[in-house]
Amino acid sequence: MRVGVLGGGLQGCCIALALVARGIPVVLYDRNNRLLSRAAIANEGKIHLGYMYANDPSRSTARMMMQGALAFAPFFARYLELPADALALSRPAAYVVHRDSQRSVEQVAHYLADVHALLREASEGRRDAYFGHDLSGDLRPWSDAEREEAFDPSIALAVFDSPEVAIDPLALAELVRRRIAQEPAIEVRLNHDVTSVEDDGSGFAVCATAESYQRERFDHVVNALWDGRFVINEKRGLRPGRPWLHRLKYGVSFRLPEHVPLPPSATFVSGPFGEVVSYRDGLTYLTWYPVCLKAISSEVAPPHWQTYPAEPLHSELLEGTLQAMAQFVPSLRNVDVAELQDVTVKGGAIVAWGATDIYDPASELHRRFEIGVTSTGNFHSVDPGKLTMAPYFADVCAARIAGSSAP
């Protein structure tokens, strides 16, 4: 059996690793000249435990996220031979209820406690699964004094500790690239723009344009193209019967000057806000939705959005985000942009079901559980929904392919 995996983002790379571990050779396609060059590295690497999704009252998104989060470190421990705690690089996030939150402080507090109880249940007997962190403690509410010191208390109405951490996606990408380069059963086809997947009687032909037109035969094909996924599915007659949005979102990261205290990792809920991720190595990542959301597309294929924006957008995002967040994170006040080191501005597409933006509390974007592997015969389309979920769905997809009878 031979499998064509379309898309060398984190989802495609994880599927390739999970397939070869089951003895199945893979050809991995990407249109760029490097694996892991798009959304996989354009994010802040938060490994979601579900606390963010207070606008999904069913708790289904939280349940889904914790399933992915608890599979994340074990997957890389298995396939990259990394110790469980090797990837946890940020300080745990405090959850902050913003003054304009779509949920009240009481609702958020109740939601967080509920999710944490579900997490304790889900992690029983797997205490080390989340980067070796102990998940058995309570979500401690901050005292007024602590809240007033770290944030503007008129905007940050309540703060709760959480155990949620972020990995550094660039560091992870480098480890994954190295592992794939060492794996003879994964053939990588870079600079191959996949244009269609055609039935050829007993299997599929992946059609791609590289230096010349290429056509290659496989028994199974996995579509893990993220923002390129719908185009290929549609050519196979698989058009979703519901609305979706591609949103272009950016984030900025830098090292603060030594005299500036590092801000706490903080996620502002519930609505169009953002977060501060404070990595243990001193890097600070910021994203603020009203500044960093730059485009929305409901087309089958979104425009080709740049991962690293050029000027003047680069400066606009850096200065705008810093200015917006400095209003309620005092340690970001009086920071001179010229003093920042290692500045990066990066972003990418977020693909999700929904017709309205998250300013609408009823938007489907506030839910993220109708995701995963959809198989039509031996053609598998994978929507990870979040980086968090990629390893989990990789094992689901690989197990499905390995368990199917070869044609």
Nearer to ligand FAD by C-beta: 147 or 385?
385
Exactly one of 5, 20, 24, 43 binds ligand FAD (CB under 6 A); that residue is 43
| SS3 state of residue 228 | helix
Nearer to ligand FAD by C-beta: 147 or 163?
163
Q: Are the beta carbons of 292 and 323 closer than 8 angstroms?
A: no
Q: How far is the CB of 386 from ligand FAD (least distance, A)?
A: 3
Nearer to ligand FAD by C-beta: 16 or 224?
224
Does 194 interact with ligand FAD (rule: CB under 6 A)? yes
Which 8-state DSSP code applies to residue 58?
Answer: T
Exactly one of 63, 147, 249, 368 binds ligand FAD (CB under 6 A); that residue is 249
Q: How far is the CB of 36 from ligand FAD (least distance, A)?
A: 6
Its sign, for the CA torsion 371, 177, 292, 86, is positive
Nearer to ligand FAD by C-beta: 12 or 309?
12
Which position has the token pair 């009878």? Answer: 405
Q: Judging by beta carbons within 10 Å of its beta carbon (0-12, 13-18, 19+), is residue 311 exposed, middle or buried?
A: exposed
Nearer to ligand FAD by C-beta: 344 or 404?
344
Does 332 interact with ligand FAD (rule: CB under 6 A)? no
Exactly one of 1, 5, 10, 365 binds ligand FAD (CB under 6 A); that residue is 10
- Of 165, 95, 169, 193, the C-alpha closest to 347 is 169
Exactly one of 16, 17, 19, 48 binds ligand FAD (CB under 6 A); that residue is 48
Q: How far is the CB of 368 from ligand FAD (least distance, A)?
A: 9
Does 380 interact with ligand FAD (rule: CB under 6 A)? no
| SS3 state of residue 243 | coil
- Of 367, 388, 385, the C-alpha closest to 60 is 367
Does 179 interact with ligand FAD (rule: CB under 6 A)? no
Cβ-based neighbours of 323, under 8 Å, separated by 6 or more: none
Exactly one of 7, 271, 302, 391 binds ligand FAD (CB under 6 A); that residue is 7
Does 63 interact with ligand FAD (rule: CB under 6 A)? no
End-to-end CA distance of the chain: 8
Rounded distance between C-alpha atoms, residue 78 and residue 86, angstroms: 12
Does 8 interact with ligand FAD (rule: CB under 6 A)? yes
Does 384 interact with ligand FAD (rule: CB under 6 A)? yes
Exactly one of 3, 16, 18, 40 binds ligand FAD (CB under 6 A); that residue is 40
Exactly one of 2, 21, 25, 32 binds ligand FAD (CB under 6 A); that residue is 32
Q: Judging by beta carbons within 10 Å of its beta carbon (0-12, 13-18, 19+), is residue 254 exposed, middle or buried?
A: buried
Does 350 interact with ligand FAD (rule: CB under 6 A)? yes
Buried/exposed 271-289: b ≥16 CB within 10 Å, e otherwise: bbbbbbbbbeeebbbbbbb
| β 26-29/3-6 pair status | parallel
Residue nearest to ligand FAD (CB): 9
Does 31 interact with ligand FAD (rule: CB under 6 A)? yes
Does 29 interact with ligand FAD (rule: CB under 6 A)? yes
Nearer to ligand FAD by C-beta: 147 or 349?
349
Cβ-based neighbours of 326, under 8 Å, separated by 6 or more: 332, 333, 334, 335
Does 224 interact with ligand FAD (rule: CB under 6 A)? yes
